[in-house]
Amino acid sequence: MRKGLVLSGGGARGLFAVQILKRMRDYGFDFKTIKFISGVSVGSIIGAMIAQGDIDTIIKVFPTLRNNDVYKGKISTFNIVKNRILGKNYVLDIEPLHALLSKYISLQKAKDKGIVFHIGFVDMNSGKYRTCTQYDFDTDENYIRAIMASCSQPVIWKPQRFSTHFEEFTNASDGGIITVSPIKSVLQHRPDQVIIINSSPVNPTVHKGDFTMEQMLLRTIDLAVGESFAKDMERFKEINKDPFRFVPSVIYQTDLDEDSLNFEDENLRKLRIDNANQMFFNPLTPKQ
């Protein structure tokens, strides 16, 4: 079997995906059957670890992450105004993520495993959604910066600079801006089955009352992400109507709508794990 794995964005909500993967592992799923992976945002981090054969590591490490392992700072009106005055086009410092990824990510291991791993990001200069794989890089640094670019939500985090064999990108940002669930990258390989794990809610909860500036910024991103996934799934279902292109699918979808930047709250971590356990089902039986 040649299976594909699609991992969405979602920030701290990525714990949903990690818990689903843990349940799959404990269930006896053979991760060696995964031959193609595509990921955006936090999905690119999780995907990178699976691509290099470190499924056990990501399952162990992700639940222990805290805000300062990923970023420094806080989204506030004061910080937005301060950084604007300082000429910065972002609010939070994402460099702690660079240190974290440098500890665990290995380009050589990813190449040696032979899995095709697609990283999705947006080239802010051209406005186009782009992908690259581990085979497009010569150095860990450029590979890690590409993964960081996939995570770098505009305004919140700094766009990233990196180079592939073919091209240099100077302002690369979160792929979830355009496609939060990058199914197409996997489908082009004609897998025997595709597993989709979406850590972002499709239907956001109703907000009551006024928004602060910070809440409005985060709400805008969440709404865009939810709409992006809905469109991704509609395109996938449309493609799958063709009997000659049909791909059996397993889809895990969270219904939680909570703070994607909060790695701290113990109750949120438990909620994400419980939600994944609730949504989990036998991955060996295709379900749409």
Q: List active site positions.
A: 41, 174
**Dihedral of the CA atoms 103, 108, 109, 110 (nearest 10)?**
100
Q: How far is CA 286 from the centre of its chain?
A: 23
What is the b/e burial string over 114-129, where b = at least 16 CB atoms within 10 angstroms of the residue's CB? ebbbbbbbbbbeeeeb
